[in-house]
Structure 1
């Protein structure tokens, strides 16, 4: 059905939502310049929480992040009769959040085991881990989304949700 053909709108929505976090990324660069590992670890955790809170709150409350609103798509429960709520919105974003937490744990343990590692090395390891974990996750998501009649990705299946194009 046409209303489930949301791939491009979902992609553009994700890009719009990413743009919103550019100021926070700039702040993260400033945090790195402080050259304090504890502050870096706290910042990485706070940044992960901000990203997840943004998505969980807006999808749970309104069924849309700002990017989804601009693209005129909405996240509904699988029956398409109501919003998904906060619990299911968290299920949608739990995997990336787990990646962030594993990445943070990884750089903390690397820092403990290799005290000579500097902030740049630790941040590079974190970024690399997040990049490759996300890449694998996106491939899995695309495979499920493109082979499912309602275009539900793994995170939609986990959250019992579906994304619907409001203009169709």
Structure 2
């Protein structure tokens, strides 16, 4: 997505640009929120024939339930963007002691890793293979 945007908007794309990657992650979270909220599926889910539904009654979910389902991932991605901006500004201003920033980034990276692992673990051991974000959003993914 970010590569196509770079072609359209005329900025240089680099797969090593952490700021662009964090912006892309926010965009992907917003994409998931809107697609699940309006259609119950992303394009990938459409291709494999699965859909996100309300766990309690297997009815379609709305935008609010989709937002709740993706809220942690969206928050983590927004924080990554903010940390990228703060790091860029500090480096640009020539701040010499970046130890607090580095510590913050490492702690946040560890928390993000823990979140990712918890998603897989809960999916592997829960009824209907629901991940943590499904429990938060009160959703379930079903074959259609």
The alignment partner of 1:162 has SS state of: strand
Provide the rounded CA distance (Å) in 2 between the counterparts of 1:28 and 1:96.
24
Structure 2 residue 114 is matched with structure 1 residue 136: yes
TM-score, normalization by structure 2: 0.71
TM-score, normalization by structure 1: 0.62
Provide the rounded CA distance (Å) in 2 between the counterparts of 1:87 and 1:62.
13
Equivalent residue for 1:155?
133
User: Closer, same or farther in 2 for the Cα pair 1:25/1:138, shift >3 Å?
Assistant: farther
Equivalent residue for 1:85?
62
The alignment partner of 2:142 has SS state of: strand
User: Closer, same or farther in 2 for the Cα pair 1:25/1:92, shift >3 Å?
Assistant: farther
What is the RMSD of the two structures over their aligned residues, measured on CA atoms? 3.3
Name the count of aligned residue pairs: 129
C-alpha deviation, 1:131, in angstroms: 7.6
Question: For residues 89-148 of structure 1, what are the alpha-carbon distances to aligned partners after superposition, in whole Å with 9 as ceiling and x for unaligned?
Answer: 11121222112211111122222322267xxxxxxx9xx979866543321101111111
CA contact (8 A) 1:80 1:162 kept: no
Equivalent positions of 1:25-40 (< 5 A) are: 25=3, 27-28=5-6, 31-32=11-12
The alignment partner of 1:82 has SS state of: coil
5+ long unaligned stretches in structure 1: 1-20, 34-39, 118-124
